[in-house]
Chains A and B, each alone.
Chain A
């Protein structure tokens, strides 16, 4: 190793330290921005180090790639709406996967190839490929370019099993005959197909799990590519991302009281919906009456869901929140871990509307306070506030931790119509004694409340 080689390796060590320290600072909202900056500095250092490598004799194509990628990345980052963040992250996961696939495939011609390297090449192509197409399908579902429901057909498990066997067979043949490129093409094609097959049976409401998992895969693909080209920094950074994605996946699964395999292999639609006998009647309320109740309230808890994002209602929610506070009322937000389409989705939307983050309470913080709350306002959330998860043993979501809005003195549910939620599960909350339904578009209903106040 020459002096340059040593300098490059040392730069990678420093870059790894910056990534680690950056992630550590992400542990608190006060330091998170600095952490992200440190992580970016680490990345810059790693890229510069890679560029001074003596093996690089030609820069124009690197430059072209960087300019093209940089412009697309910067434009997307600036223009994307906060409500569309899940789609964007899904798409970026896919690009990361594809990059690892390409590096894996290119590494085949570049270095020496013992069996270990061949296996890691297969892994980077396999994980990268399925991350790419899986993320594209997830992107399509999230942006509703394709139907967001679960796609299932009879014999799906068999088809998938055959697909896995075919991938294994091609992988073995590739390792035995690396000079025969047809096996390489077979692995690429099969892994791309596998990504599609793996994500189509998963419905829109389970997307937080899928995004987290694909996030993890994009890291693991980078990790495998690191093995293939014998590069430490790829392994360290890739496995940090892999671990992060796995943890988020676990948190999401726990918040839905489902195992990962249940999310991955059974479309939510196929869950047999038990007959729940719901007693009571729906009690609608007008904007005007809702205003009188809110005016008298001293404590309000707002529980947002994906519907708030769809209606783009976060800014009017903040406005209402300010009016209530001026009126001497204490306002808090209760955020369920799987509210929205990705982990933390609601927090970002409310932060965009200038709601301070210490006003956003996690489920475990808000639930013990719920009995002292005068009015709980549910905006576009359904399953995450369904008391059937606590009370009805036969319910498909029984055992899932929910925000207990029904324990508040009064509950307002802002909802478009009585059509059942994504999961098609009956929600007894709507029929409770203390529940009032405020029908209509969430943004307009809240706008109406704001007009009443002023």
Chain B
């Protein structure tokens, strides 16, 4: 049942994603992409639970490496998106 439930979530969020992103204007496609990139760093949440088991086995080291990589995505992604969006100005401002 768990699998069906998770698949349900998957389906709904994909549809939601399509609806939301279709409305983003072409002007903002680069920030959209780097912002989405930051969101894909959500893997950090999964990596944290693996890196903190305290078992000092292979899984923990892999988890710690994943935390580092995903954090690059999260921090770098949000910061660069903000930097870009700060540059977008309307005429006459």
Binding site for B on A (CB under 8 A): 19-20, 22-24, 26-30, 32-33, 35-37, 39-40, 43, 46-47, 49-51, 53, 55-59, 61-62, 64-66, 68-70, 72-74, 76-78, 80, 82, 85, 88-89, 92-93, 95-96, 98-100, 102-103, 105-110, 116, 211-212, 215, 218-219, 221-223, 225-227, 229-248, 251, 335, 337, 342-345, 347-348, 351-352, 354, 356-360, 362
Known contacts: A237-B42, A356-B92. The answer to whether A36 contacts B20 by CB under 8 A is no
**Most chain-B Cβ atoms within 10 A of its Cβ — which of A55, A105, A221, A236?**
A236
Cβ-Cβ contact count across A and B, 8 Å cutoff: 374
Q: Are B28 and A29 in contact (CB under 8 A)?
A: yes
Contacting residues, chain B, for A57 (C-beta < 8 A): 52-54
User: CB within 8 A of B28: which of A47, A342, A347, A354?
Assistant: A347
Separation in Å of the B34 CB from the closest CB of chain A?
A: 6
In the complex, what residue of chain A is closest to B77 when comparing beta carbons?
A92
Q: Are A103 and B46 in contact (CB under 8 A)?
A: yes
Separation in Å of the B60 CB from the closest CB of chain A?
A: 7
Binary interface encoding of chain B residues 33-51 relative to chain A, with 1 for a CB under 8 A from any of its CBs, else 0: 1111111111111111111
Give Cα A20–Cα B91 distance, bound, in whole angstroms: 29
Contacting residues, chain A, for B32 (C-beta < 8 A): 26, 244, 248, 343-344
**Most chain-A Cβ atoms within 10 A of its Cβ — which of B17, B44, B74?**
B17
Q: Are A46 and B10 in contact (CB under 8 A)?
A: no
Give Cα A245–Cα B21 distance, bound, in whole angstroms: 9
Q: Are B17 and A72 in contact (CB under 8 A)?
A: no
Contacting residues, chain B, for A68 (C-beta < 8 A): 68, 71
Contacting residues, chain A, for B30 (C-beta < 8 A): 85, 89, 342-345, 347-348
Q: Are B67 and A65 in contact (CB under 8 A)?
A: yes
Contacting residues, chain B, for A247 (C-beta < 8 A): 18, 21-22
Contacting residues, chain A, for B39 (C-beta < 8 A): 19, 39, 43, 219, 237, 240-241
Q: Are A215 and B33 in contact (CB under 8 A)?
A: yes
Contacting residues, chain B, for A74 (C-beta < 8 A): 75-76, 79
Separation in Å of the A359 CB from the closest CB of chain B?
A: 6
Contacting residues, chain B, for A231 (C-beta < 8 A): 45-46, 49
**Which secondary structure dominates where chain B touches chain A?**
helix
Give Cα A99–Cα B51 distance, bound, in whole angstroms: 12
In the complex, what residue of chain B is closest to A237 when comparing beta carbons?
B42
Q: Are B17 and A96 in contact (CB under 8 A)?
A: no
Number of interface residues of B (CB under 8 A): 83
Give Cα A229–Cα B48 distance, bound, in whole angstroms: 12
A-B contacts, 21 listed (Cβ < 8 Å): A20-B20, A26-B28, A43-B74, A58-B52, A70-B75, A85-B30, A88-B34, A89-B30, A95-B72, A99-B44, A99-B69, A100-B43, A102-B47, A107-B50, A233-B42, A242-B14, A242-B17, A343-B32, A344-B29, A347-B27, A360-B27
Known contacts: A26-B28, A231-B46. The answer to whether A62 contacts B64 by CB under 8 A is yes
Contacting residues, chain B, for A36 (C-beta < 8 A): 31, 35, 78, 81-82, 85
Contacting residues, chain A, for B41 (C-beta < 8 A): 43, 96, 99
Q: Are A356 and B89 in contact (CB under 8 A)?
A: yes
Q: Are A33 and B86 in contact (CB under 8 A)?
A: yes
Contacting residues, chain B, for A211 (C-beta < 8 A): 33
Separation in Å of the A179 CB from the closest CB of chain B?
A: 14
User: CB within 8 A of A55: which of B2, B38, B53?
Assistant: B53
Contacting residues, chain B, for A99 (C-beta < 8 A): 41, 43-44, 47, 66-67, 69-70, 73
